Structure 1
Amino acid sequence: MIRVLLVDDEELVRSGLRLILEASGDIAIAGEARDGAEALSAVRRLRPEVVLMDVRMPVMDGLTAARHLLAESEPPKLIMLTTFDLDEYVHEALRLGAVGFLLKDTPPRELASAVRTVAGGQAMLSPSVTKRLISSYADRAPSRAQAARKQLAALTGREEDVIRALARGLSNAEIGRELRLTEATVKAHVSRVLAKLGLANRVQAAILVHDADLA
């Protein structure tokens, strides 16, 4: 069972998420929290694998809580919940190391699938949602773009091909088909790229490509 902590100041939202996820059969709700401060305490007490957390909450907002959670030695996988008007905050959360985000109107099947995806160690980078929103809110100031390009210059030509495809939201299998590589080879390239660039996950890699305006 995948143990999930739900963090949202609205009880109705938490109840809905609980019903959807528990109906999946392989996801258990480890606990609930009403704000970021409660979430920090609950994570340390309950040790969930995945935290599903809203961005805007009283006492401590989701972004502040994310900064604390992701600084832990063994942080849980973090998915931010948001609406379109809050995406600039989610973009910052992704920079901190969150593995993705969901819109609050995400269909039930996709919600459960997203939890399984991040619990399995993969970042959520869907071309239809994540890539578009990262692209929309990425800060492409000249200084940031220049710094991003300088960082990417450390990659080989093949590694750059892989990270560009990754930034478009392609899976390892899709990247392999496009670049005519085996899935195992793509996986090795992705791991090497993340290590070389000092990045935590695929989402941070995609953000770096967008910052460099190379996507």
Structure 2
Amino acid sequence: MSSTGGPTPIALAVVDDDPMVRAALAMMLGGGSGIAVVAEAENGEEALRVVPASGAAVVLMDIRMPVRDGLSATEELLRTHPDLRVIVLTTFDTDDMVLRALRAGAAGFLLKDTKPARLVEAIRSVAAGEPMLSPSVTAQLIAAVTRDTGPDTHDRTRAARAALAELTDRERDVADAVARGLSNAEVAAELFMGVPTVKTHVGRIFAKLGVENRVQVAILVHDAQAPD
């Protein structure tokens, strides 16, 4: 709890070489968002010094910066401080960057044109342990993971269809929406549900499918839709 009796704000560090971007993010995420910007850094090297001392729980990390890039900084930060949650925020979403960021341990990958409300939701979700990817990044990741069209493709398709058959019709609706990269709030709006109901459905989907995150749901849905 904070000193005013409300929930403790999520401590956020912003790492970007553009001071205007840092200022805009700090202004946008301040106020009543439940997020407090506790540190800023202009490159990955400075982030390694500033972030651990700041008490930040979540880091918004740019990729392309001078001195040290955001991906190598993410790798080092998470090696020494594994409880940190890093969201890569960038203008680039190429396959290799997405995969390298996720392999480095990033909990989120969003583009810089992400709407403020979705960015706030992503920070909250990542702070709560739920990975968050933009729809275009989800599509890139699925394409990279499922690019193999070898002899086991049909087995993978059959297994995905069998797994999804365990879902109720409503759970399948939610799974399909998750596979398109929609957030819980966006799923709720599209399917005319409350956000808590969506969260309940997502939890049941994870349990029934034996998956740990939304990207794995998306991959199963993608595999199930492959032609015979």
Normalising by structure 2, report the TM-score. 0.66
The counterpart of 2:37, out of the listed 6, 17, 29, is 29
| Contact 2:39/2:50, CA 8 A, preserved across alignment | yes
CA drift at 1:44:
1.8
Give me the whole-angstrom Cα distance separating, in 2, the residues matched to 1:192 and 1:97.
Answer: 25
The AA in structure 1 aligned to 2:66 is P
The counterpart of 2:206, out of the listed 169, 173, 190, is 190
SS in 2 for 1:84: coil
Query: Any residues of structure 2 matched to 1:46-125 within 5 Å, and which?
Result: 46-72=54-80, 74-84=82-92, 86=94, 88-125=96-133
User: Closer, same or farther in 2 for the Cα pair 1:186/1:27, shift >3 Å?
Assistant: closer
Residues 1:10 and 2:18 are matched in the alignment: yes
Give me the whole-angstrom Cα distance separating, in 2, the residues matched to 1:32 and 1:91.
Answer: 25
The AA in structure 2 aligned to 1:102 is L
1:134 counterpart residue number: 141
User: Closer, same or farther in 2 for the Cα pair 1:47/1:140, shift >3 Å?
Assistant: same
The AA in structure 1 aligned to 2:163 is G
Unaligned ranges ≥5, structure 2: 1-8, 192-196
After superposition, the C-alpha distances for 1:76-117 in whole angstroms (9 at most, x for unaligned) are: 111111113656313321233322222112232332222222
Tell me whether 46-55 or 32-41 shows the greater mean CA deviation: 32-41
Residues 1:157 and 2:169 are matched in the alignment: no
| Contact 1:80/1:100, CA 8 A, preserved across alignment | yes
Unaligned ranges ≥5, structure 1: none
CA drift at 1:62:
1.1
Give me the whole-angstrom Cα distance separating, in 2, the residues matched to 1:16 and 1:106.
Answer: 13
CA drift at 1:51:
0.3
After superposition, the C-alpha distances for 1:29-86 in whole angstroms (9 at most, x for unaligned) are: 1100111122122232122111000011112211111222233453311111111365
Percent sequence identity is 40
The AA in structure 2 aligned to 1:22 is G
| Contact 2:44/2:73, CA 8 A, preserved across alignment | yes
| Contact 2:94/2:140, CA 8 A, preserved across alignment | no
Aligned length: 202
| Contact 1:82/1:104, CA 8 A, preserved across alignment | yes
Give me the whole-angstrom Cα distance separating, in 2, the residues matched to 1:37 and 1:116.
Answer: 26
CA drift at 1:130:
3.1
Q: Which has the higher contact order (CA 8 A, sep 6+)?
A: 1
User: Closer, same or farther in 2 for the Cα pair 1:140/1:42, shift >3 Å?
Assistant: same
After superposition, the C-alpha distances for 1:160-187 in whole angstroms (9 at most, x for unaligned) are: 868x755443667969x9xxx9964751
Decide which structure has the larger Cα Rg and report it. 2
The AA in structure 1 aligned to 2:91 is T
The AA in structure 2 aligned to 1:187 is G
Normalising by structure 1, report the TM-score. 0.69
| Contact 1:69/1:75, CA 8 A, preserved across alignment | no
Give me the whole-angstrom Cα distance separating, in 1, the residues matched to 2:219 and 2:77.
Answer: 22
